[in-house]
Amino acid sequence: MKKLTLAPGERGEILIDSNELNNKSYLYINGKQALELRKNKKTGLTSIPKTLVEVPEIIKNLNNLKTRTFSLKTTSKGNTINNTPYNMEKLNFEVQKGTQEIWEIKNGSKMMDMPHPFHVHGAQFRVIERNGKTPPLNEQGWKDTVNLNAGDSVKILITYTTDGITVYHCHILEHEEDGMMGQFQINK
The residue ranges that bind Cu ion (CB under 5 A) are 116, 170, 172, 175
**Dihedral of alpha carbons 159, 98, 96, 9, sign:** negative
Question: 8 or 18, CB closer to Cu ion?
Answer: 8
Question: 79 or 92, CB closer to Cu ion?
Answer: 79
Question: 57 or 113, CB closer to Cu ion?
Answer: 113
Distance CA 16, CA 19 (A): 9
Cα dist from 83 to 86, 118, 169, 181, whole Å: 10, 16, 14, 11
Question: 73 or 155, CB closer to Cu ion?
Answer: 73
Strands, DSSP E only, in the chain?
A: 25-29, 32-37, 67-75, 78-81, 93-96, 100-107, 116-120, 124-130, 145-148, 153-159, 164-170, 181-187
Q: How far is the CB of 17 from Cu ion (least distance, A)?
A: 35
Question: 84 or 185, CB closer to Cu ion?
Answer: 84
Distance CA 82, CA 71 (A): 5
Q: How far is the CB of 86 from Cu ion (least distance, A)?
A: 12
Q: How far is the CB of 122 from Cu ion (least distance, A)?
A: 20
Distance CA 114, CA 117 (A): 10
**Dihedral, 166, 170, 172, 175 alpha carbons, nearest 10:** -100
Q: How far is the CB of 26 from Cu ion (least distance, A)?
A: 30
Q: How far is the CB of 165 from Cu ion (least distance, A)?
A: 22
Distance CA 35, CA 2 (A): 15
Question: 130 or 175, CB closer to Cu ion?
Answer: 175
DSSP-assigned letter for residue 111? S
Q: How far is the CB of 33 from Cu ion (least distance, A)?
A: 29
